[in-house]
Amino acid sequence: MAIPSREISRARQSLERRGRVSTASLPPDIAESWQRCVDLGLDPLGPARLADLDADALRDACESHDQLIRFARPEIELLYDQIAGSNFMIALGSSDGLILQTLVDHQFADNAAAHTVVPGSDWTEVVRGTNALGIALKTGRPAHVYGEEHYLRANAGVSCICTPIFDGRGSIAGLLDASTTAAHRQEHTAALLQMSAGNIENCLIRSRCEDQLILLFHPRPEYLDTLSVGVLVLDRDYRIAAFNRRGGIFLAGLSDLIGRSFSAVFEETLESLASRLGRGETVRVRDRFGSAASMRCLSNRASFALSTRAVPVTTRPSADNAAAHGPSPALILEDTTVAKRVTGLPQAAHHGMSISIAGETGTGKTALAGFIHASTGREGAWHSLRPGDSAEAITPAALRGGTLSIDAPGELDAPTQAALLRLLERAEHDDVLLISAGVDAPAREASRGRLRADLAYRLAGFVVALPPLRERDDLEDLIEHCLAEIRPDLRISSAALEVLHAHHWPGNLHELKSQLQRASMRTAGFELGVEDFPDLAAATAAPVSTGKIAEALMQLTDHGLKWRDVHGQTIALMVEQCEGNVADAARRLGLSRTTVYKYLQSPPEAP
């Protein structure tokens, strides 16, 4: 739909000649914004009140919004790919109207607006007059400003669309803006922006609320895995701590959701649904207005303990009862791969299904086993069987209602494997949770002749493969967790983090904790630096020839590939040059391992 230029021109004449706002000729949001600008004393024919940040101030602003930028960047790149070549630019704004990042289409790059919408520029109404970003920030709603609808005539050559990104508590966390020289309303682009903003919002909520219960709900169950799902976050008292905009729309009749108890919003109590939600089931609920919705629990640390209030996520057995209750159930699930692989694990454990945990030494197998035992709220004791132990020492009666944890079943000698099989046959009808942990899954151990096939069948139920630390994307969360146990007052510098990110970690979590313990004893202050990790900092990689990469990039450019494809091919070639060492490739490219893995999992097409 074309912009009604006659009405806009009439409104501009009234504004520029008499300083009056003609509300009849303008959309309500535009008229209200113009009036605010008039009240601020802005000259519609004058320049903007520039207040851009210098490089140091911009760097500080980006660091203070690092989480927003981290989740928004993939969405910005996706938006760019979707509208590339259509004379657009994408901008990410902060909660106070500051441009943090931009991505500019080559067709838009020569436009004057491309030189004003830059990182560090302020686009609040006070500075730039009426614009989409300023209106969205002021109203908390998506905004469209086309051509001469801008208050300042200097901005009339572009059209812009902006949608706010919310933080889960009703406040604006950031802004997503698309600007173009097109003179038609961009409804499709507006829809894409809102989808991206919703994705960023959900990522912010999930990241900040990992220790809390996250409930997904929608009137139709088939939409629980889509972007239109509602999200509610509950604190330990089952009160709403956060919700996404979609969830707020579904519950629009209920005001002030933050702080409300679950039972004040829904007809059911969470206690009545806990066991089913904790097993990963989808349940049907009704809100206080009678509207029905399907609901399930997002798999995270808190969901493991949902079915029993007696075993909260933070429970840690004391030294005198650790033998009965198993190892500490502390667990970090921020890594996306780990989170996906444990989906369905609560349901399997509650149904008494055998659990098999595979992974390299130090990947957290023991912690996961202890967490499973603790979160199921089993009344029986924890029993462990390790290579060198005798299965005859454990009786079927002792296992009743408890957990049997088998460490490295492939390393048990033949008599012990036979005794274990007899024990399991005698305890077959008892409520016993069976957890095995080894480098390989039972089926692979059996194929190598290390484990009896009939025993492997008993152990191989729900299999969880834990990735090595070098392949996880939650290293910083793990470091924070370890430091909290070693020295809560200790922090780590960004330079030291880079050193730890670049390390291959052959010893996984054991090596990480050992390195942090030694570093904590070396440091004289409250922040760990590069000098506190001398053996890691001293390790230098052999130089990699860039000739092959440079030659390949020239070929890619000649083929006319988009920058994202060239970027992806660069990453793939560097990983190849580094013989598959992702951490080394990421360090040399100046990227995070998460970014490298993302491109490797979804590689662009080769020319």
Give pLDDT, residue 542.
Answer: 39
pLDDT tens sequence across 473-484: 888 888 988 888
In a domain, 308, yes or no: no
CATH of the domain at 562: 1.10.10
Residue 282 and residue 259 share a domain: yes
Indicate the pairing of strand 433-438 with strand 403-407. parallel
In a domain, 108, yes or no: yes
In a domain, 22, yes or no: no
Under the banding of pLDDT at 50, 70 and 90, the label for residue 319 is very low
In a domain, 351, yes or no: yes
Under the banding of pLDDT at 50, 70 and 90, the label for residue 590 is low
Residue 245 and residue 260 share a domain: yes
Residue 340 and residue 462 share a domain: yes
Residue 357 and residue 391 share a domain: yes
Residue 336 and residue 443 share a domain: yes
In a domain, 121, yes or no: yes
Mean of all residue pLDDT scores within the chain? 82
pLDDT tens sequence across 148-184: 899 999 888 888 999 999 999 889 999 999 988 766 6
In a domain, 586, yes or no: yes
User: Are 397 and 428 contacting, i.e. CB atoms less than 8 angstroms apart?
Assistant: no
- Kindly tell me if the per-residue pLDDT of 424 is higher than 50: yes
User: Which of 537, 560, 593 finishes a domain?
Assistant: 537
Residue 194 and residue 228 share a domain: no
User: Which of 189, 206, 223 finishes a domain?
Assistant: 206
Nearest to 402 by CA among 443, 429, 373, 423: 373
Distances 303 to 218, 230, 259, 278 between C-alpha atoms, Å:
19, 17, 20, 6
- Kindly tell me if the per-residue pLDDT of 419 is higher than 80: yes
Sheet holding 213-218, edge to edge: 240-243, 230-234, 213-218, 292-297, 283-286
User: Are 404 and 385 contacting, i.e. CB atoms less than 8 angstroms apart?
Assistant: yes
Residue 175 and residue 137 share a domain: yes
In a domain, 44, yes or no: no
Share of the chain above pLDDT 90, in %: 36
Mean pLDDT comparison of 298-302, 311-315, 412-416, 559-563, highest-scoring range = 412-416
**Average pLDDT of span 215-229:** 90
In a domain, 275, yes or no: yes
CATH of the domain at 105: 3.30.450.40
CATH of the domain at 293: 3.30.450
Residue 565 and residue 426 share a domain: no
Using only C-alpha atoms, the chain has a radius of gyration, in whole angstroms, of 29
What is the count of structural domains for the chain?
5
- Kindly tell me if the per-residue pLDDT of 329 is higher than 80: no
**Average pLDDT of span 432-436:** 91
Tell me which residue range forms the domain holding 259.
209-298
User: Which of 206, 231, 256 finishes a domain?
Assistant: 206
Residue 141 and residue 105 share a domain: yes
Query: Which one-letter amino acid corresponds to residue 140?
Result: G
Residue 265 and residue 181 share a domain: no
Mean pLDDT comparison of 30-44, 81-95, 227-241, 327-341, highest-scoring range = 30-44
CATH of the domain at 338: 3.40.50.300
Residue 140 and residue 72 share a domain: yes
Under the banding of pLDDT at 50, 70 and 90, the label for residue 84 is low
Residue 339 and residue 364 share a domain: yes
